[in-house]
A and B are shown apart, each in its own frame.
Chain A
Amino acid sequence: MASASSTGAGDYPWEALPLHLQERILALLPLTELITVAAASRALRRLIRSPAFHTLLSPHRLDAFFLLSPRLAVHPLSRRVLPAPPLADEGPPRFPPLVSSASPSILITPATLFHLPPLPVGSYLISVVVPPGTFRSSPTTYTLVAVTTGAAVRSYTINTAYPDPRWESRGDLPLPFALLGNAAVSGDRSRLFVLGRGSDALLVFDLVTGMWELLPVVMPLGLTTAHLFVFDRRLFLVGGVERFGEVERVVVWQMDDAEENLLWKEVGVMPAVVFGKLVAGRHGSFWHFQAVDRMGIVCLYNAVDGRLVVFDAANGQWTVLPRVSGLDAEESSRWFGHVLEPGIELLMGQHCH
């Protein structure tokens, strides 16, 4: 590669930095950004494709692609809707995923379940949990959590790390719930925080012991389309607040356990202008949004009107994204809720199609 001179980076050019310092700097960038860096020069491409560099990489919060369809996704880094990145060895899944994991991402589709023993009768999946520290290769083992709800919650798990994986019956919770909502995985992957719906409640499922616990916290009044997420070791809840059957505002709460009693502390309210964009003039009529999160970035989606809003728990900022058009609302709402993260193989130039 040529040395710096004419374009004025000064007398201490980039190329004079030792390779390990160049690597340290570039390892701070999201994978999707590194693709552009790799295009800039041969030397940068060589560095970015080297196994030594890959050992420095860790999941980046701006690398998530929030799916809107098999082929389109919201990309928080560029704040646009982009084509979803190709998966390692296959094209986009043919059917909407049933559940997907927190980082690193894995999508569980009906095709995935085909290779496993059938789900326990009447149960549905609420989560897939991957072991921590598996970023550099696509996770090959995971734990699925399924439940039945009604008069009581019954739970089942299957761990694909076992040679002959089977569904195991885990703990029961003798409380009636119509449905369990989304499940947020704790940072150490040992617990699931789960929303109970039908009567709103916050449940905890211990993945090690298989025991359930109902947390003694009063859920916000009028809560609708709620979504739990974990960021920076803290538990958050985002949802609409209804009054007289109409969603009035969207609020973010954080679990406050500093005092003796647990409580949901309001930490953010969607500004009225942003709320107006998300609602798209549907005040007073039935509508709802969906939510998905990845590493503290929450994407809220009104599939009917193609409206997208992003909330960043790191700085409390709300951002309205350009309107999405041309998607089938019903189909899109089934894809939304799942996140793809490109793997390191994306940097290797294997996707030449």
Chain B
Amino acid sequence: MAAPESGDGNNGAARMVTLISSDNTRFEVEAAAASLSQTLQLTILDGGGGGGDGIPLPNVDSATLSKVLEYCIKHAPAAANGGAPNATAVDRAELERFDNEFVNIDQSVLYSLIMAAHNLEIEGLQSLVAKKVADMIKGKSPMEIRRTLGFPDPTPEEQAEMNAHMLEYGWAYE
């Protein structure tokens, strides 16, 4: 798990880069993990993010960036192996378990995460969160979907439209 930068940081073999969240928190993370972001990859390849410099991410707050980096650190080894075609079943099961637990979070955090994953172009994270939100919608009635997505109770006019729609597609609700 990435932590806010606390010292001189890079004393190992792996190259480290610094990312700066919108609220000015600095995160030091291995370049391999940050490079899961297509947006960051080019900057890092050009030598950016190292030393005293950091890469500012004005659209991602520290809480969200911390979560994003948790995902990147876990998935970086598999990504380095080209999607891990040689990964063992145990490795794949471990990643799956991690993913399932990772998205077991508050809905507003999920939305922040998918926005960050989109801005940073982290395809795997976008897919993971999109699937989680879709699963939350699945199997629910229209009213339950409204509640899941945080919509207020329908006005009488909206309620009438909902009823008309359900009547039109009566076969789907039997």
A binding-site residues for B, Cβ under 8 Å:
1-2, 4-14, 16-18, 21, 24-26, 28-29, 32-33, 35-42, 44-45, 82-86, 349, 351-352
Contact = CB atoms under 8 A, between A and B. Distances in A.
A345 to B, nearest CB: 13
Contact of B152 (A2, A32, A45): A2
B63 to A, nearest CB: 11
B165 A24 contact: no
A6 B153 CA distance: 9
B102 interface: no
B171 A17 contact: no
Contacts of B173: 36
6 contacts: A4-B151, A8-B150, A9-B148, A10-B111, A21-B118, A35-B172
A40 B146 contact: yes
A contact face: mostly helix, strand, loop, or mixed: loop
Contacts of A39: 142, 162, 165-166, 169
B139 to A, nearest CB: 8
A71 B111 CA distance: 41
Nearest to B141: A36
Contacts of A14: 111, 149-151
Interface stretch (B30-38, B44-52, B87-95, B128-136): B128-136
A19 B108 CA distance: 16
Contacts, number: 118
A21 B114 contact: yes
Given A4-B151, A8-B150, A10-B150, A21 B115 contact: yes
B39 to A, nearest CB: 16
B42 interface: no
Given A10-B106, A13-B111, 20 more contacts: A7-B146, A9-B108, A10-B107, A10-B108, A10-B150, A13-B108, A14-B111, A21-B114, A24-B126, A24-B130, A26-B137, A33-B138, A36-B172, A36-B173, A37-B137, A41-B146, A41-B151, A42-B161, A349-B168, A351-B169
A351 B168 contact: yes
A120 to B, nearest CB: 39
Contacts of A82: 171-172, 174
B134 A16 contact: no
A35 B152 contact: no
A2 B147 CA distance: 12
The 8 closest A-B pairs by CB, nearest first: A9-B150, A10-B108, A4-B150, A39-B142, A83-B171, A28-B134, A39-B165, A12-B108
A84 B174 CA distance: 11
B3 interface: no
Contacts of B138: 29, 33
B112 interface: yes
A194 to B, nearest CB: 33
A7 to B, nearest CB: 5
Nearest to A86: B171
Contact size range, B: 35 or more
B80 interface: no
A7 B107 CA distance: 12
A41 B143 CA distance: 9
B145 interface: yes
B111 A17 contact: yes
Contact of B172 (A13, A18, A25, A32): A32
A13 B146 CA distance: 12
Contacts of B84: none
Given A4-B151, A10-B109, A11-B108, A35 B134 contact: no
B133 A41 contact: no
Contact of B111 (A16, A32, A85): A16
Contact of A28 (B111, B130, B172): B130
B165 A45 contact: yes
A32 B172 CA distance: 7
Nearest to A36: B142
A145 B148 CA distance: 48
B15 interface: no
Contacts of B101: none
B150 A28 contact: no
A6 B165 contact: no
A86 to B, nearest CB: 8
B158 interface: yes
Contacts of A9: 107-108, 148-150
Contacts of B150: 4-5, 7-10, 13-14
